[in-house]
Amino acid sequence: MTLSVEDRLDIEQLINLYGHVIDAREFSRLGELFTDDAVFDLSGFDGTVYESLDAITQMMHDSQQHPLAHHATNIVILEEGGSVTVLSNGIGVGNGGRVGSVTYSDKLLRTPGGWRIQRRHCELRRASSAE
């Protein structure tokens, strides 16, 4: 698979849209971001893996730990053996000025509705992981 410039722009738009949707708490729009069978792997964050768009949506509704703002940075799009993986960093700003950073690794799928995240792995950046 060779990605076109349009594909790359659409993929970057998808990664950036995630932060806007989550920050606006528009969880009904998660279908614009994830496939129906998506997996959101937070095992590197809180130890939980959510399997399906419905489970991801419920987790988003239930979570009390959402930052006030998500910022996607360092987006790298990789084409590997017919699949697309996106690596990115996220910076989250929470209540009281608390700031955290995560690394995302996303497997994407082109659907009739556009590019969607099929699997997202989120790893919380800790001081020990940067040494």
At 21-40, the pLDDT tens digits run 999 999 999 999 999 999 99
At 38-47, the pLDDT tens digits run 999 999 878 8
At 75-117, the pLDDT tens digits run 999 998 889 999 999 999 988 888 989 999 999 999 999 999 9
Strands 83-93 and 34-44: unpaired
Is residue 67 a contact partner of residue 100, using CB atoms and an 8 Å limit?
yes
Closest CA to 8 of 56, 75, 104: 75
At 50-82, the pLDDT tens digits run 999 999 999 999 988 888 899 999 999 999 888
The pTM for the full model equals 0.92
Distance (Å, whole) CA 64 – CA 12: 27
Domains and CATH numbers, the chain: 5-124 (3.10.450.50)
Token pair in block for residue 3: 């990605």
